[in-house]
Structure 1
Amino acid sequence: MKVITIGGGEISELETLDLDAFICSQTGKSNPKALFIPTASGDADGYCKTFQRIYGDRLGCEVDFLLATGPGFSHQQAVQKILDCDLVYVGGGNTQRMLAIWRDFRIVEALRQAGERGTVLSGLSAGAICWYEAGLSDSDRFTADSNWKLKRLDALGFLPGVFCPHLDKEQRHAPLLELVRTSGERAIACDNGAAIYWQDGVAQVLTSLPNAYAYIYTEQSGEVSVERFSAGQKLPL
């Protein structure tokens, strides 16, 4: 299974373009079928147009969209789209709402099946968290008052560990440190412009911005160690 999980960056400003091109290259096709799943953003029209501009117009993909929040959407339609594409890209937004919708429409198994058949699975922020066992999520910011906090959120479990996006841009180090210290779980974090490329259980760091890194947080005897990794390095997982 090939999975590329991006920590953050503005796709519209080409901050992730090198990562986007790598995702396309991993399909082994010159004009891959790219399925954009923007559930976490509520299927935002502007987000879809940006994806078409980058993956379609610039990177040469045949783009399709899985819009799960509108009328007429069905399980059968979703499964057909997922199993027919060469790459899946999941957009950012409200991770908790996205996963609930996916479970309601029973499409998680289709995503797993696609990955096992060779479809490249990818995404940014919420679209990166979803592939792991869990993530450090800001989903409450979309529904709660100004006192919301980052929280651990169960995800799909295709990849091991807890994933944290936006480490450098959203001051997530302290809450991630506390989560790992209290739970004993291992966490993987990425700055904006950094990504983890998983293939057959091996994880490697990719970057598209200068000074972007990936990190591993590990708890032992109540203390948490943090290791930093640069582009090209493999994570000792």
Structure 2
Amino acid sequence: MACAKAWLIVIDAQTHQNLRNGPAIVWVGRPMQVMRVGATLAPAPTSLLESRSLSVKIITIGGGEISELETLDLDAFICSQTGKSTPKALFIPTASGDADGYCATFQHVYGERLGCEVDFLLASRTDFSHQQAMHKILNADLVYVGGGNTEKMLAVWRDFRIAAALRQAGESGTVLAGLSAGAICWYEAGLSDSDRFTAGSDWKLKRLGALGFLPGVFCPHLDKEQRHAPLLELVRTSGERAVACDNGAAIYWHDGVAQVLSSLPNAFAYLYTPVSGEVSVERFSAGQKLPL
């Protein structure tokens, strides 16, 4: 099956090791179309976390309505990773413009449902400062970044040097998490819809550089917003590896491992790997680890 001018090679996780170790026949597209790919695979990439000094717990969620409790199991898991009975949860809703309703929803879920002591980092406030950001971030047990306009969020963060505070917190043991834009931010880049907030009906998904705490490109909402073809093209043309999540799926990064989590049925994570001008796509379910 040709998609975005690239072959889509779909293999399952169990096949992956055999495919890397030698020639293999895999099904491509329609039945009876096959392609020998083993002999031309690019060298197996090293761990995405290799050569990185940052060793933290980061949970990146592909999407889902927190207000409808679609991510509640993931939210509970995030809280559990703090090791605290009443964790201090800091919500950063910059990407939504610090929307009041979003803050109220977070308070309900993380405060009332999950028993956290909730605080908010509201960068749009006129009295907001770098010192305030540092204090709030470094005193949190978990930091959760909300969804919205990734590009605008990162621009605001640069003004207040928020990335440095987040890095320091992560290195000190604070659990870092986020959904959609709040998931993209932790990676080197993301497939972002930021232009839809400013470009009207002519907007397109684009690669957007992010903080680089995690290597590779991240794509949220894979199953809900027709992002597969643009991501396939990005990986094929850039040569970058990418990970993607359906709504209700997440990737938990810890100790050099990337493990899939899920709060909804049929919610998966995916690994997109450039293969000699083509792209392989692997699907992973909850509990599986990405071969990074």
Q: TM-score, normalised by structure 1?
A: 0.99
The 5 Å alignment of 1:88-167 reads: 88-167=143-222
Task: Measure the CA separation in 1 of the matches of 2:145 and 2:173.
Answer: 17
One-letter amino acid matched to 2:197 = F
One-letter amino acid matched to 1:64 = D
Alpha-carbon RMSD across the aligned residues, in angstroms, is 0.4
- Equivalent residue number for residue 22 of structure 1: 77
- Equivalent residue number for residue 44 of structure 1: 99
- Equivalent residue number for residue 65 of structure 1: 120
Show structure 1 runs of 5+ residues with no match: none
Deviations 1:120-171 (A, max 9, x none): 0000000000000000000000011201000000000000110000000000
Task: Measure the CA separation in 2 of the matches of 1:183 and 1:217.
Answer: 12
Show structure 2 runs of 5+ residues with no match: 1-55
One-letter amino acid matched to 2:60 = T
For 1:146, what is the secondary structure of its paired residue? helix
1:183 aligns with one of 234, 238, 247: 238
Deviations 1:18-53 (A, max 9, x none): 000000000000100000000000000000000000
Q: C-alpha displacement at 1:201, in angstroms? A: 1.7
> After the TM superposition, which parts of structure 1 deviate over 4 Å for at least 4 consecutive aligned residues?
none
Task: Measure the CA separation in 2 of the matches of 1:12 and 1:26.
Answer: 22
Task: Measure the CA separation in 1 of the matches of 2:63 and 2:140.
Answer: 24
1:75 aligns with one of 130, 146, 169: 130
Task: Measure the CA separation in 2 of the matches of 1:70 and 1:166.
Answer: 30
| 1:233 equivalenced with 2:291 (yes/no) | no
One-letter amino acid matched to 1:61 = C
Task: Measure the CA separation in 2 of the matches of 1:58 and 1:229.
Answer: 29
Task: Measure the CA separation in 2 of the matches of 1:118 and 1:70.
Answer: 28
- Equivalent residue number for residue 217 of structure 1: 272
One-letter amino acid matched to 1:122 = A
For 2:201, what is the secondary structure of its paired residue? coil
Task: Measure the CA separation in 2 of the matches of 1:200 and 1:83.
Answer: 21
One-letter amino acid matched to 2:286 = A
One-letter amino acid matched to 2:220 = P
Q: Which has the larger radius of gyration?
A: 2
One-letter amino acid matched to 2:62 = G
One-letter amino acid matched to 2:67 = S
For 1:15, what is the secondary structure of its paired residue? coil
One-letter amino acid matched to 1:57 = E
Q: C-alpha displacement at 1:62, in angstroms? A: 0.1
Q: C-alpha displacement at 1:233, in angstroms? A: 0.2
- Equivalent residue number for residue 88 of structure 2: 33
One-letter amino acid matched to 2:239 = G
Deviations 1:166-194 (A, max 9, x none): 00000000000000000000000000000
Q: C-alpha displacement at 1:85, in angstroms? A: 0.4
Task: Measure the CA separation in 1 of the matches of 2:229 and 2:164.
Answer: 34
Task: Measure the CA separation in 2 of the matches of 1:154 and 1:47.
Answer: 25
2:262 aligns with one of 202, 207, 231: 207
Task: Measure the CA separation in 2 of the matches of 1:186 and 1:202.
Answer: 16
Task: Measure the CA separation in 2 of the matches of 1:145 and 1:18.
Answer: 35
